[in-house]
Amino acid sequence: MTPEQARQAQATVERALGGAEVNPYEMFRAQVDLAGQKLGYPADILELVKRPERVVEVSIPVRMDDGRIEVFTGYRVQHSSARGPYKGGIRYHPSVTLDEVKALAGWMAWKCAVVDIPLGGGKGGIVCDPTRMSEGELERLTRRYTAMILPVIGPQHDIPAPDVNTNSRIMNWVMDTATALRGEPMYGVVTGKDLAVGGARGRREATGRGVVIVMEELLAQLGKRIAGTRVAVQGFGNVGSVAAQLLHEKGAKVVGVSDVSGALYHPEGLDIPALVAHVARSPQRWIAGYTAPGVEALPGPEVLTLDVEVLVPAALEGQITADNASRIQAQVIVEGANGPTTPEADLILEARGRVVAPDILANAGGVIVSYFEWVQNLQNFYWDEEETHERLASLLRRAFRGVWDHAQKHGVSLRTSAFMLGLERIVEAIRLRGIFP
């Protein structure tokens, strides 16, 4: 990289770090530049990797239960198809922005490359608050959104999946809508479905299970084991709750958990099965209201700075920042969420000797098993759950070893190593395919 290109990379980093709020797409672009600088790639190739191939914005009119029509904004971003069809979830959240979806699509492309599965990166989102919508309103929202993006999705082109505030029920609606409008079975148009309509056994738990597999591998490299390890989990949704449950079963002490309703702490470890049962009974599926001897309620952000050995941020992006990175006590951070650590916080953590298993490796279990589901849909041949678990563990362990060995060889952090590996694979695919026309 020339001095001028290096200055451009630094400028991008400074933009990502500037201001009180972190722009996720600027964060993504900064990460591409940092990895590209290490690899000596020219600026034009990096610009190609940073930009999404297609951005779709749609207006989604929905008739609400009270009879009025509300118009929602939805997005589908297709970042890279260099290594295969676009792949990535759909999230429903009030804070969804186009830049957020663009960043998430880019990270998905990188994630698929790091774990070496033949898929590209995509992402979708709708600006809405699903907690304030009825089931009928959510169904009408989902079906209209599907109809609006159907021209650009499909089993050989772009395969969505669940993400924040979406689940198998919503994926079932996407598949059914696509099937009705196309007039042919479309089981492979989306992953994360229920088993009766083409889902894969083990898909729901895949991301949380992958977090635990990566944690186990990382701790082994550090001469530690999961049993007896004190862990805090930020976010008790699908990823965080599954990870906490599996860690509890493996003998870890999950001393703190949090969600949007607050945080819970017990110095000797929370009763995770009881907490999971409480959340299942809660109308909003929150941890709020759970009580047990020795359990203390805390403000939600405090879960990040608890006295633990391992921290699992499994909520939203941008949670570990320059404001709190110096107060994080965990020696190991395993990222269950997408983009939970800002670039500036990364530098602080690295300077303090913290080891971070990056999101594009640690939470790749979901996309790996989504890949498995897609393969099974295309073949109309389905595996049992044990086979899914074994294949997931094999792929993730291979990916972890590649990232770990690459980091040791080049003297870089695990995140930089993962970015370099992923970028190398994406750029190699672009090189081999060439630029059309």
Catalytic site residues? 123
Two structure tokens written together for 302 = 């405090």
Give the residue from 219, 209, 297 showing the smallest Cα distance to 258.
297
CB 355 within 8 A of CB 333: yes
Q: What separation, in Å, do the N-terminal and C-terminal C-alpha atoms of the chain show?
A: 27
**Can you give the length of the chain in residues?**
437
Q: How far is 75 from 70, CA to CA, in rounded Å?
A: 17
Q: In DSSP terms, which residues pair with 341 in a beta bridge?
A: 320
CB 245 within 8 A of CB 271: no
Q: How far is 364 from 19, CA to CA, in rounded Å?
A: 30
Buried b (16+ CB within 10 A) or exposed e, 26-63: bbbbbbbbbbbbbbebebebbebbbebbeebebebebe
Residue 196 CB burial class (10 angstroms; 0-12, 13-18, ≥19): exposed
- The 3-class secondary structure across 233-244, one letter per residue, is EECCCHHHHHHH
DSSP string, 171-185: HHHHHHHHHHHHTS-
- The 3-class secondary structure across 206-223, one letter per residue, is HHHHHHHHHHHHHHHHCC
Q: How many CB atoms lie within 10 A of CB 192?
A: 30
Two structure tokens written together for 139 = 């169904």
Give the residue from 79, 84, 73 showing the smallest Cα distance to 125.
73
Diameter over CA atoms, the chain: 68
